[in-house]
Amino acid sequence: MRIAIIGQQDFGKAALEAFIARGDTVAGVFCAPEKPGARPDALRVAAQERGVQLFQLPSLKTPEAEAALRALNVDIGVMAYVLQFAPQSFVTIPRHGTIQYHPSLLPRYRGPSSINWPIIHGDSRTGLTIFRPTDGLDEGPVVLQKETPIGPDDTLGSVYFDRLFPMGVAALLEAADLVVRGGARETVQDESQASYEGWCHAAEARINWHNHVDHVYNLIRGCNPAPGAWTTLGGRRLQIFDARKHPTRTFGQVKGKVGTVAAIESEAMFVVAQGGQVEVQKVKLEDGKKIGAAQFCAENGVTPGTALGT
């Protein structure tokens, strides 16, 4: 099989390596130009190390991009983590068109932060979709899907790196085979079940301790490791990473005002939320390093009764 890979970073690199490892020919790689000061694009580096023809074009909507893809004479295009818009005039050039990876069970969670939001919303399952890219965002026909559970203590990191990442690479191989061999059954997405979620950035990651402890905990784990759920301490941003929740079981069980530190133990601090406490294990103060919560409290004068989020 002769392939063009369109993508970037570690997922794009993993897809490149997987196709090459099984004997396919990667004729060319398209990845976005790196911004000044950004870390090297892992896909770009891998393509250059393997002598694969590389195209770093500012846009895939130009005659230059179309000519480059057409000259590669590939069987299929594979989009592996793509932030550039790829028009139909580009994705339909390969003999069997193009397939794209999206880390949610489309049509649910269309959009760029589709791994964060199911965790933040407390969903018990998520998955991935390989679909045909159209000019609509994540709206094309589905080629195949894979599902995975979201455990009660899963984080963005565990769901993505442990499951959706390796499952996604394997699914791209499977879908490419189905399409090129003519065995793919494409299913139009059900618009009545569709949802769109935008970026999960810092503004969306701010903790409101007056929310129920379940919602606070889901936000923390859905933003771990990025963008990092956060609160404030003395006007400075404090990101919270590893945590556990402790729901209140009986009336009056939790003491202290919402948003205050209830207790500090050897490895954690406990913060009051509605309906329980959040056991905070790892934190990062703005411009600082990620450290254990108990160490942070000792170094910054945090004691029981200290208020967060003010």
Whether residue 282 contacts residue 305, with contact meaning beta carbons closer than 8 Å, is answered with: no
pLDDT of residue 84: 94
Give the other-Cβ count within 10 Å of 136's Cβ.
Answer: 9
Q: Same structural domain for residues 291 and 229?
A: yes
Q: What is the mean pLDDT of the chain?
A: 96
Quickly count helices (H) and strands (E) in the chain: 9, 15
- Residue 276's pLDDT band, with cuts at 50, 70 and 90, is very high
Range 219-236 average pLDDT = 97
Q: Same structural domain for residues 189 and 239?
A: no
CA 286 – CA 51 distance, rounded (Å): 41
Residue 125 clears pLDDT 70, i.e. is over it: yes
Q: Among 163, 193, 223, identify where a domain stops.
A: 193
Q: Same structural domain for residues 176 and 223?
A: no
Domain with 34 in it: what CATH number?
3.40.50.170
Residue 198 in domain: no
Q: Which domain holds residue 120?
A: 2-193
> How many domains, in total, are found in the chain?
2
**Single pTM value for the model:** 0.95
Q: Same structural domain for residues 245 and 166?
A: no
Q: Is 133 helix (H, G, I), strand (E, B) or coil?
A: coil
Q: Among 154, 173, 193, identify where a domain stops.
A: 193
pLDDT of residue 254: 65
Q: Same structural domain for residues 183 and 245?
A: no
In DSSP terms, 29 is beta-bridged to 5, 54
Whether residue 84 contacts residue 61, with contact meaning beta carbons closer than 8 Å, is answered with: no
Whether residue 218 contacts residue 240, with contact meaning beta carbons closer than 8 Å, is answered with: no
Q: Give the pLDDT confidence of 6-47 residue by residue, as tens digits.
A: 999 999 999 999 999 999 999 999 999 999 999 999 999 999
Residue 215 in domain: yes
Q: Among 168, 193, 218, identify where a domain stops.
A: 193
Q: Is 211 exposed, middle or buried (0-12, 13-18, 19+ CB in 10 A)?
A: middle
Residue 144 in domain: yes
CA 5 – CA 308 distance, rounded (Å): 46
Q: Same structural domain for residues 118 and 181?
A: yes
- Residue 132's pLDDT band, with cuts at 50, 70 and 90, is very high
Q: Same structural domain for residues 218 and 170?
A: no
The edge-to-edge listing of strands for the beta sheet with 282-285 is 229-233, 236-240, 282-285, 291-292
Q: Same structural domain for residues 127 and 44?
A: yes
Pairing of strands 236-240, 229-233: antiparallel
Residue 125 vs residues 37, 107, 158: alpha-carbon distances, Å: 37, 14, 13
Q: Give the pLDDT confidence of 249-263 residue by residue, as tens digits.
A: 776 666 789 999 999
Residue 216 in domain: yes
Q: Same structural domain for residues 123 and 235?
A: no
pLDDT > 90: percent of the chain: 96
Q: Same structural domain for residues 28 and 175?
A: yes
What is the CA 3 to chain-centroid distance, rounded? 25
Residue with tokens 């590893």: 242
Residue 22 in domain: yes
